[in-house]
Structure 1
Amino acid sequence: MTTFRDLHKPGQPFILANAWDAGSAKMLKSLGAQAIATSSAAHAFTLGRPDGLGVTRDEALAHAQDLIAATGLPVQGDFENGWGDDPDAVAETVRLAGQAGLAGICIEDIKLPTPNAYDRAFAIERIKAAAAAARALPNDFVLTARADGIMTQAYDIDEAIARLQGFEAVGADCLYAPVPKSIDDVIRICASVTASVNVLVAGPIYTAETLKSYGAMGAARLSLGSALARATHRVIHDAALEMFGGGAAEGSFSLLGQSISGDKVDELLT
């Protein structure tokens, strides 16, 4: 049987599809997803909360278990900063995730709810504790360490790479620096480490042509983040403007006529 770890092959990236509920996860499975990830932002949207206010650890664990039960696929949890600054808190989050049946989680280096990054040495210490907890689990568990400071503007690409290298040195299985500023930075990240690298395929630097090149760059995994959920919310937004006013086609229902058929959705959910 192919495990979540087996899917990570540098140079042969798979798509880790981020879902936000059981229905979206089941549709993605029916359409070819080999593994599912949660998205902290997309999950928050389903709870009527803006991204940034976050969800609790218990909510995130229960949500991930719902996706596991719905699909039977490996599920990775987008587990923010591990719900605690202290390395022991992060290790406990890893243990709880393993007990809940997750195939892995990702941990950020940002001191939430601020945009500020932990000191590099402390960020590495947190991942070291998480990796030790992951190795102690009875089930295989893929730990992804994130360097989020480029995205939050806390540091630059050089600092991100230094952090990723430190995370790899203490046992992280997969490395991830969301929203680099250029494709050259993606290439630098992949070349700077030997562990699997996740690339977020959402944002202005990604085009149809660059998406074809990730294997050559060395990426092992392509994730969607909250992009698919936000695309769904874009349809709600635009259709509502048509219906309720403020849009170019005020009073129109044209977007509703472009929706997928209920029969097709039913087919994908069964």
Structure 2
Amino acid sequence: MTTLQDKARLFRSLHRPGRPLALANAWDVPSARLVEAAGAPAVATTSAGVAWSVGVADGDHIGRDAALAAAERIAAAVDVPVTADIESGFGATPDDVARTVRDVVAAGAVGVNIEDVHPADPSAQRPAEQQAERISAARRAADDAGGALYVNARADAFLRSVGEPGDRLPDTLERAAAYIAAGADGVFVPGVTDPDTVGALVRSIDAPLNILAGPGAPDVATLAALGVARVSLGSAVTGAAYAVVRRSARELFDTGTYTSIDDHLSYGELNALMLERPATPPNA
């Protein structure tokens, strides 16, 4: 029987610079099972997708319990390791982050993303020292829980366009060093895909680098050649799924036709996917 520790070790081993872990982020059990069935070695949740699916906005609007319930359902529904996006940790203090991490381990996930966005200003970041304290609390909680959790620390200067453009790379590198010293296993820098900057990040960050990719970004092979260790699609898959809803609804109401849903999964295919096994919490 595969234990949570086995999955944690496997997930950690998948972060190899030059041979990146590719993650098509999921937000519910069907999307997670489809990702797994496509051959994914691991499943990552998208905080935005999870939040939207329960009717709230991304950005610390969903509660801890709802986010972790989604992670638990997904972890129970797939055989591969699961990593959970916990936004900024669901709480104002490092102790709150520690509680969230303990709950993540209990939910059956083996990794977390923790972002450094400022809770009062989505265009700013928490002070680096404050964020390092939160990451340190996450690390201690994970170690105490015996989950060998992979802590992926997100640095948002590029994504949020914080400060002057020329300051973003040095700021990110300083933060990355502080987060790694605090116990982060990897560093996630969304909002940057140009090869020169990605290469500079890889050369200067002493941990596996995670890049957010999508249309217009270099392909996985190019990012691999730069030394990237993890490539995520983030909320883009959820957005693409909801775009089908919008297109099909507009077509139905505007023209009375149905071509927008020509390429779809059948009822039988999806139902069979759900019949494989019930999504109950794992006993690991």
Q: TM-score, normalised by structure 1?
A: 0.90
1:258 and 1:173 mapped to 2: Cα distance?
A: 40
1:238 and 1:12 mapped to 2: Cα distance?
A: 36
User: Partner residue of 2:264?
Assistant: 259
2:230 and 2:148 mapped to 1: Cα distance?
A: 18
Change (3 A) 1:252 1:26: same
Structure 1 position 66, deviation (Å): 0.1
User: Partner residue of 1:187?
Assistant: 199
2:263 and 2:101 mapped to 1: Cα distance?
A: 42
User: Partner residue of 2:245?
Assistant: 236
2:210 maps to 1:198: yes
Match of 1:133, as an amino acid?
A
Structure 1 position 239, deviation (Å): 1.5
2:229 maps to 1:217: no
2:93 and 2:15 mapped to 1: Cα distance?
A: 29
Aligned 1:19-168 pairs, distance under 5 A:
19-52=26-59, 54-112=61-119, 114-115=121-122, 116-155=124-163, 156-168=168-180
Match of 2:150, as an amino acid?
V
Change (3 A) 1:157 1:252: farther
1:244 and 1:63 mapped to 2: Cα distance?
A: 33
2:183 maps to 1:171: yes
Q: Any idea what the Cα deviations from partners look like across 1:216-268, whole Å, max 9, x if unmatched? A: 111111111111111111111112221223xxxx4332112232333444555
- Secondary structure of 1:8's match? coil
Q: Any idea what the Cα deviations from partners look like across 1:99-124, whole Å, max 9, x if unmatched? A: 22210111111122521211122222
Structure 1 position 59, deviation (Å): 0.8
Q: Percent identity?
A: 36
1:59 and 1:266 mapped to 2: Cα distance?
A: 24
Listed as ranges, the gaps of 5+ residues in structure 2 are 1-5, 277-284
Please identify, of 31-40 and 122-131, the stretch whose mean Cα deviation from structure 2 is larger.
122-131
2:31 and 2:84 mapped to 1: Cα distance?
A: 15
Structure 1 position 130, deviation (Å): 1.7
Match of 2:170, as an amino acid?
D
2:272 and 2:204 mapped to 1: Cα distance?
A: 44
Indicate if the aligned counterparts of 1:179 and 1:203 stay in contact, CA closer than 8 A. no
Change (3 A) 1:92 1:191: same
User: Partner residue of 2:279?
Assistant: none
What's the RMSD between the two structures over aligned residues? 1.9
Structure 1 position 23, deviation (Å): 1.0
- Secondary structure of 2:125's match? coil
Q: Any idea what the Cα deviations from partners look like across 1:119-174, whole Å, max 9, x if unmatched? A: 12222222122222222221221011110122112242221121112111222101
- Secondary structure of 2:183's match? coil
1:92 and 1:264 mapped to 2: Cα distance?
A: 38
Q: TM-score, normalised by structure 2?
A: 0.86
Please identify, of 47-56 and 156-165, the stretch whose mean Cα deviation from structure 2 is larger.
47-56
- Secondary structure of 1:49's match? coil
Indicate if the aligned counterparts of 2:43 and 2:80 stay in contact, CA closer than 8 A. yes
Change (3 A) 1:86 1:222: same
1:146 and 1:51 mapped to 2: Cα distance?
A: 16
Listed as ranges, the gaps of 5+ residues in structure 1 are none
